Amino acid sequence: MSNAKTLDSLIAFYENLSPESVTHFPDFYAEDAWFKDPFNEVRGVLPIQRIFTHMFGQVAEPRFKIIERIVDENGALLVWEFYYRVRLWGDGKSQVMRGASHLKFNAEGKVLWHRDYWDAAEELYAKLPVIGWLLRRLKKLMAASQ
């Protein structure tokens, strides 16, 4: 991506994402943008907006923090932390999920391709009460002895 200011704007958009600002995805994403994460694979800016609108219904106080960026001529890798509280879990405990987004841009500087990489087992399932215990036990059994 040749325009660092555009990437700075995209990062600011994500770090300040709110239910109201979801309507601004077309400012940053191409109409036919492709998006994939561990739960979704969609094409088009409107389906991408629906994913993030759904996120606000599932979690409380979601917040992205971009902690590293690697940029080349036509793309970027953003390493992030995602802070949230799960609405279904009564404890209200704040959680953090760590991952990365690989982005490719079109000639206009809009996101054309967005692939999120994060470990659903470690970052989400392992934090669930019963499933989490099983996953932690399995991880311990599979790990090399020290």
| Cβ proximity of 3 and 109 under 8 Å | yes
Q: Which CATH number fits domain 4-118: 3.40.50.1100, 3.40.50.300, 3.10.450.50, 3.30.70.3280?
A: 3.10.450.50
Q: Give residue for tokens 């601004």.
A: 24
pLDDT in tens, 39-91: 999 999 999 999 999 999 888 899 999 999 999 988 999 999 999 887 766 56
Q: pLDDT tens across 100-126, in order?
A: 999 999 999 999 999 999 876 665 655
73-85: pLDDT as tens digits: 889 999 999 998 8
Nearest residue to 9 (alpha-carbon basis) of 48, 52, 66 = 66
In the prediction, which pLDDT does 90 show?
Answer: 58
In the chain, where the domains are located:
4-118
Q: What is the pLDDT of residue 69?
A: 97
The dihedral of CA 128, 52, 99, 93: what is its sign? negative
Which pLDDT belongs to residue 126? 59
pLDDT for position 2? 46
